[in-house]
Amino acid sequence: MMRYLKKCEEFSICSEVGESDLLFTELSEDRSTLYQIVVKGSGKIAKVFDSKFTKLDETTDNFVDLKQYKGYHTIFQSYKPFLHREFHQH
């Protein structure tokens, strides 16, 4: 997975590009995503060790509020190659 980051004054925009069958973890202190736009691909995100997850999909779940994961350790699994845009709060 590749991540591209652009910092603005009060927020930042991040793009992530990756292949299918990828697992990606993010530490709680790094997890500041508010919203995610799925441009391409699909997958799911969850808090580590939690059975509840949020679907991410380019057709039906493509603009997703992810504030519930802010400040938690998370894990992402991709089903298809993906391109995401994320909006982070400073």
What's the pLDDT tens digit per position in 53-89? 999 999 998 999 999 999 999 999 999 999 998 888 7
Distance of alpha carbon 81 from alpha carbon 8, whole angstroms: 28
Distance of alpha carbon 31 from alpha carbon 28, whole angstroms: 5
Q: Tell me what pLDDT residue 51 has.
A: 95
Lowest-confidence range among 15-19, 37-41, 43-47, 84-88? 84-88
Determine the Cα angle at 84 with ends 81 and 86, to 5°: 160
* Superfamily of the domain at 2-89: Jelly Rolls (2.60.120.10)
**DSSP assignment string, 22-35:** -EEEE-GGG--EEE
pTM, two decimal places: 0.86
